[in-house]
Structure 1
């Protein structure tokens, strides 16, 4: 049950007794009674998810769900205990005890790619479920499959959704976090923000929870492994701070949903040069940092052949071509390729962070998607310092198995045939292919786009299929 004070507890008791029902006189007496004891509040605790392993601060460590799931926690059976759940491709698997095991409740609600949210939407003390798709919220107080009981618009695509009881009244409201700005609404409905303030900075991971057990949801941000928590929503200094978990963990509280994806364990703190699989699959990846001249051709080929792919955008490219960025974001995973494509190893740590965070902000604003956890170092240039910064920003590095060299153009001695031959010569399970959008700056060639139909045809003819990176979260 959500933490309550004496007045709110009396109101919840009234609502529940009315449903039984209770005589009007008894209801009035309950409202006016000063002697009703308060329910002991349970402050929310920090939680980190490391793959399918859960770590609850001051509590147990257990395994539940899969490493690709999105973790959530709430009071699913209204017994006063917050317990785990996971959201997987539109299905919720909820458990009524704080431990691993099989799901007690399985609900189909939402679809793959939605962002899950949890909250006590109707103020009855039981946690409901919801999903955010773009800037549209779909909420259900009932833990059962069916249509949304409330649907409305709030925020923008690319925002991070949050939920909580911001004003201490019965029932959770909603909110979004955008580049360090918080926009909170006291009701679970569309409309203007009741609270708007800055807390934290772009690149921080937002968290919410009733940190002191007073019945009001506070806010927080996680920066690296440090949690900066504030008991009352608003700007200003953190009420408390502590270190918990590791860089790259998924973070949440005992009454919230994980807001950022966390770094897949198979990154191993370094990077992928190939996918972590023995299956005969290939990942096409396209870097975008120059112009957009070949984007239409690439997207046309991918769509006509129903071929998955992943795009790595610089923030500057996304800002220069926002319509193209939005078009890509509607159909394909997007990764972060820094803001302006510098060699990060030559920059200060503050500048490295700025390059990654600025691109994250630009991609969310234009493509409307969260690029985490996929990151690609410009020129492939990285070292232990830059990798550590990247990991603490909740990203993992994706390098490549083969560079087609199509970016060298005809003036560099390449052709669509050489592009194809390089892909086929390096064909192996889990191959990651590096390609580029745009045209060569001097000769105007678009070799990767020109070779793409043949690449798809010849790779599939050899018994391989194509995947995108999201298949390996």
Structure 2
């Protein structure tokens, strides 16, 4: 598996700095965070990433939610056999139903569990304090369950799926809860019902979104075949975003 290159790291840091200085045009919703107390230190807003700028021949596999593990035994075996460093953006109530599934992935493979909020709300409908409660609450439960805290956040869409699922308050709340980047995706390859999205030609640095459930093994196989066809290897997203 390629190691992140220094040039890629510099570009990522530069992109994060530019993101901090120039608010993204697609952020939605009012900023409702209370002003910081005089002299209080506040972290810089988290950057939003949907593709990693890198010359390395790598792709990033991400899996959301965490339900229906009993129907995804084959997917777990595939992740372990091929040692796929998947980023698992999980809900606490989902992994609490089958901790052993995820403990096996963490103990015997390179996957990591990341933050997907506590109850999967549309974060853009919440105040900054409400968003912190969701994000910090998920972090605390993950620490209790696995002894490892998340460092990346994927905001949930709730019932409204009000794209892009985050706003300025999210970018402030995330680092306050230990999330150093907000991760979206380049391609969603999840099969929904009878509809399977077309398989794209993957490019270096693409972030692939999948979901835990009965179609995960087939969707993961399709994503890995697309990566193989493009000469790309799955790589750990944390390493490339955080160094």
Normalised by the size of structure 2, how large is the TM-score? 0.73
Structure ranking higher in helix proportion: 2
What displacement does 1:430 show? 0.3
Residue 17 of structure 2 aligns with which residue?
none
In structure 2, list runs of 5 or more residues that go unmatched. Answer: 1-8, 11-34, 158-163
Using a 3 Å threshold, how does the CA distance of structure 1 residues 344 and 289 change in structure 2: closer, same or farther? farther
Q: Report SS of the residue matched to 2:85.
A: coil
Residue 142 of structure 2 aligns with which residue?
363
Residue 60 of structure 2 aligns with which residue?
283
Which ranges of 4 or more aligned residues in structure 1 deviate by more than 6 Å?
none
What displacement does 1:376 show? 0.2
Structure 1, residues 404-443: CA drift from partner, whole Å, max 9, x if none? 132x122xx23xxx4xx43xx24111000000112xxxxx
CA distance in 1, matches of 2:142, 2:53: 26
Using a 3 Å threshold, how does the CA distance of structure 1 residues 322 and 448 change in structure 2: closer, same or farther? closer
Whether the aligned pair in 2 keeps the contact of 1:338 and 1:358 (CA below 8 Å) is yes
Residue 328 of structure 1 aligns with which residue?
105
Structure 1, residues 134-155: CA drift from partner, whole Å, max 9, x if none? xxxxxxxxxxxxxxxxxxxxxx
Structure 1, residues 106-153: CA drift from partner, whole Å, max 9, x if none? xxxxxxxxxxxxxxxxxxxxxxxxxxxxxxxxxxxxxxxxxxxxxxxx
CA distance in 2, matches of 1:452, 1:405: 9
CA distance in 2, matches of 1:382, 1:347: 10
**Bigger-Rg structure (1/2):** 1
In structure 1, list runs of 5 or more residues that go unmatched. Answer: 1-65, 68-223, 227-240, 249-267, 439-445
Using a 3 Å threshold, how does the CA distance of structure 1 residues 392 and 305 change in structure 2: closer, same or farther? same
Q: Report SS of the residue matched to 2:118.
A: coil
What displacement does 1:289 show? 4.3
CA distance in 2, matches of 1:325, 1:405: 20
Q: Report SS of the residue matched to 1:451.
A: helix
Structure 1, residues 262-296: CA drift from partner, whole Å, max 9, x if none? xxxxxx84311011313221000000243323442
Whether the aligned pair in 2 keeps the contact of 1:314 and 1:337 (CA below 8 Å) is yes
What displacement does 1:359 show? 0.8
Residue 460 of structure 1 aligns with which residue?
228
Normalised by the size of structure 1, how large is the TM-score? 0.39
Q: Which of structures 1 and 2 has the larger relative contact order (alpha carbons within 8 angstroms, sep 6+)? A: 2
Structure ranking higher in strand proportion: 1
Structure 1, residues 182-217: CA drift from partner, whole Å, max 9, x if none? xxxxxxxxxxxxxxxxxxxxxxxxxxxxxxxxxxxx
CA distance in 2, matches of 1:370, 1:284: 19
Alignment of 1:35-434 (within 5 A): 242-244=39-41, 246-247=42-43, 269-330=46-107, 331=109, 332-371=111-150, 373-379=151-157, 380-395=164-179, 396-406=181-191, 408-410=192-194, 413-414=195-196, 418=197, 421-422=198-199, 425-434=200-209
CA distance in 2, matches of 1:306, 1:394: 26
2:239 aligned with 1:471: yes
Whether the aligned pair in 2 keeps the contact of 1:318 and 1:367 (CA below 8 Å) is no
Using a 3 Å threshold, how does the CA distance of structure 1 residues 225 and 348 change in structure 2: closer, same or farther? closer
Q: Report SS of the residue matched to 1:427.
A: coil
